[in-house]
A and B are shown apart, each in its own frame.
Chain A
Amino acid sequence: KQEVTQIPAALSVPEGENLVLNCSFTDSAIYNLQWFRQDPGKGLTSLLLIQSSQREQTSGRLNASLDKSSGRSTLYIAASQPGDSATYLCAVQGGADGLTFGKGTHLIIQP
């Protein structure tokens, strides 16, 4: 059974810092990996989707990498801002089914 782990569980950093969130998964037979953002009381917003054949994806200040063979992904956030404060979830898709999620990293950016 696929398991997804996210480290750290919580992170608090001053505004302007670059930071890295980590995600690992146990079964490398995945179709894709997605990073989501969840704001309190809200649904999930997809940030980046990396297909299994890809190594990374970029969107603005966000860059996600995927090393499928080692079962790892990182989300890099450049020049963090208070508006980046949220919970970041990593999820993998292992076939024609739903996503398996990690428990998330709760991120606080201090002004």
Chain B
Amino acid sequence: DAGVIQSPRHEVTEMGQEVTLRCKPISGHNSLFWYRQTMMRGLELLIYFNNNVPIDDSGMPEDRFSAKMPNASFSTLKIQPSEPRDSAVYFCASSPPGAYHKNIQYFGAGTRLSVL
């Protein structure tokens, strides 16, 4: 299995532009998580999906952030408009169906976003 695949690996954009980050979870996994990592705040959960349905988006910082999961094999995280303070590494993770307490989350390599 190729693992969780994120694209792009690096994204440099200018303030005000729209940014779309993509994630392909591991086949058969039914939970998907978006995290953001910064030096100041560490790793924070933004939103997670179960069976393609958003369950908790309380970590999404502002209305400028939105996430979708149109099917079991694809999710996007969109920032519109982007701001310099959105610069961070964004991780996607997935986990298989089953009891939550037993499930390891598998992380993608991340997307490093720089907003100038």
Q: List the interface of chain A (C-beta within 8 A of B).
A: 31-32, 34, 36, 41-46, 49, 51-52, 89, 91, 93, 95-104
Inter-chain CA distance A45–B91, complex, in Å, is 12
A104 partner residues in chain B, CB cutoff 8 A: 42
Q: Are A93 and B101 in contact (CB under 8 A)?
A: yes
A43 partner residues in chain B, CB cutoff 8 A: 4, 91, 107-110
Q: Which of B45, B50, B91 contacts A44 (CB 8 A)?
A: B91
Binary CB contact string for chain B from 38 to 75 against chain A (1 if under 8 A, 0 otherwise): 00001111001010000110010000000000000000
B50 partner residues in chain A, CB cutoff 8 A: 96
The verdict on A96 contacting B102 (CB below 8 Å), with A43-B109, A89-B43 known, is no
Give chain A nearest CB distance to B106 CB in angstroms.
Answer: 7
Q: Which of B43, B91, B102, B109 contacts A51 (CB 8 A)?
A: B102
Q: Which of A31, A96, A101 contacts B55 (CB 8 A)?
A: A96
Residues of B in contact with A, size category? 20 to 34
Q: Are A98 and B101 in contact (CB under 8 A)?
A: no
Q: List the interface of chain B (C-beta within 8 A of A).
A: 4, 33, 35, 42-45, 48, 50, 55-56, 59, 91, 93, 100-102, 104-110, 112
Q: List 11 A-B contacts (CB under 8 A).
A: A32-B102, A36-B107, A43-B110, A44-B93, A45-B107, A49-B104, A93-B101, A98-B59, A100-B45, A101-B42, A104-B42
B110 partner residues in chain A, CB cutoff 8 A: 42-43
B43 partner residues in chain A, CB cutoff 8 A: 89, 91, 99, 101
Q: Are A103 and B100 in contact (CB under 8 A)?
A: no
Give chain B nearest CB distance to A97 CB in angstroms.
Answer: 5
Q: Are A51 and B45 in contact (CB under 8 A)?
A: no
Q: Are A42 and B109 in contact (CB under 8 A)?
A: yes
A98 partner residues in chain B, CB cutoff 8 A: 33, 35, 45, 48, 56, 59, 93, 105
Q: Are B100 and A95 in contact (CB under 8 A)?
A: yes
B33 partner residues in chain A, CB cutoff 8 A: 98-99
B91 partner residues in chain A, CB cutoff 8 A: 43-44
